[in-house]
Amino acid sequence: MNILLWHVHGSWTTSFVRGKHRYLIPVNAARDAWGLGRARTFDWPPSAEEVGPAEFGQADVAVLQRPAEVDRVPAGIPKIYVEHNTPRGDVPDSRHPLADRDDLVIAHVTHFNELFWDTGGTRTTVIEHGVVEPAVRWTGELDRLAVVSNEPVRRGRVTGTDLFPRFAGVAPLDVFGMGVSGLTGDRIATHEDPPQATMHAALARRRAYLHLCRWTSLGLSLIEAMQLGMPVIALATTEAVAAVPPGAGVLDTRVDTLVDAARWLIEEPGQARVLGERARQVALSRYGLDRFLADWDRLLEEETCASR
């Protein structure tokens, strides 16, 4: 089928466009938020095609990721809204902007999101993340810690940026992502928006992966790091407590415990390997691409058939 999909979340879309369909990706001359087109730092197949507004009507279904996209979809095309984010504001009473609608379904990417968003009478489902398995494997020979975080300067406490120096006191900290170049601090190195394959190769050489987000749905980079075979040190918040089971990493809400865990893994690479192997097994099983695409095929078929 033909699926209309704006390029909003590059990592998630990299998995989504691996399916068997034709993906219509809006593009405009400015390549702005409403016409970003194909990704330039991710590997997307030819079936993800750039289209202009005149071609939107070819779509059999629209997969949306921002509330404002709803009104840009031609009439009569069924709509599925992907909710990537945890609610902001008056949690846990946050009202979803698309609550109480009968013209779409909301597909949450985590059970945590579905639990915390108030969507009223709007139909909901959960399709957990699936990622393209990275091509490299963890070696962990560098006594360094790794973080992947987009805009950690602007987002601050949300991404746990204030905690970075505490871990840099244990070992040098490498921060990868968009908008990281403004970070400062002793033993904190930044790597601004590298291509995904380059980032994976660099992550695999670091001893452990840090997930310090206080309030986020579930970072795809965390799953990717686990599939690399990296041991995880994470705040026990949101969906991370379900994604990283015992034996795959160390989770806690007490930061001192996580700092101690980072020191332990730096000093004991053999233990890091054991945790990383468990993390990889779990991530491949729960967040594999085949399961993800099969779940989406079922939902796409249900929604297009219902519209007919």
Average pLDDT taken over every residue of the chain? 96
Q: At what angle do helices 269-286 and 220-228 cross, to 10 degrees?
A: 120
Residues 92 and 166 in one domain: no
Residues 124 and 153 in one domain: no
Residues 23 and 69 in one domain: yes
DSSP 8-state secondary structure symbol assigned to residue 134: P
Q: How far is CA 169 from CA 152, 246, 257, in A?
A: 19, 26, 14
Residue 281 lies in a domain: yes
Owner of token pair 């973080």: 147
Residue 204 lies in a domain: yes
Residues 30, 32: Cα–Cα separation, whole Å:
5
Q: What is the pLDDT of residues 185-196, one digit of tens each?
A: 999 999 999 999
pLDDT of residue 90: 86
Residues 105 and 147 in one domain: no
Residues 11 and 34 in one domain: yes
Residues 57 and 110 in one domain: yes
Six-digit token pair at 124? Answer: 């909901």
Q: What is the CATH number of the domain that holds 149?
A: 3.40.50.2000
Range of the domain at 52: 2-130+289-307
Residue 78 lies in a domain: yes
Q: What is the pLDDT of residues 98-149, one digit of tens each?
A: 999 999 999 999 999 999 999 999 999 999 999 999 999 999 999 999 999 9
- Could you give the dihedral angle defined by the CA atoms of residues 258, 261, 265 and 270, in that order, rounded to the nearest 10 degrees? -130
Which of these, 237, 207, 296, lies nearest to 16 by C-alpha position? 296
Q: Find the DSSP H helices in 20-86.
A: none
pLDDT of residue 89: 83
Residues 228 and 95 in one domain: no
Residues 180 and 95 in one domain: no
Residues 72 and 187 in one domain: no
Residue 135 lies in a domain: no
Residues 184, 173: Cα–Cα separation, whole Å:
11
Residues 148 and 271 in one domain: yes
Per cent of the chain over pLDDT 90 is 94
Q: Is the pLDDT of residue 308 over 80?
A: no
Six-digit token pair at 41? Answer: 């730092």
Least-confidence region, from 86-90, 140-144, 261-265: 86-90
Residue 136 lies in a domain: no
Q: What is the pLDDT of residues 1-38, one digit of tens each?
A: 999 999 999 999 999 999 999 999 999 999 999 999 99
Residues 164 and 73 in one domain: no
Neighbour-count burial of 98, counting CB atoms closer than 10 A to its CB (0-12 exposed, 13-18 middle, 19+ buried): buried
Residues 147 and 254 in one domain: yes
Look at the chain and report how many structural domains it folds into: 2
Residue 39 lies in a domain: yes
Q: In which element (H, E) is residue 296 found?
A: helix 289-307
Residue 30 lies in a domain: yes
pLDDT of residue 306: 82
3-state secondary structure of 85: coil
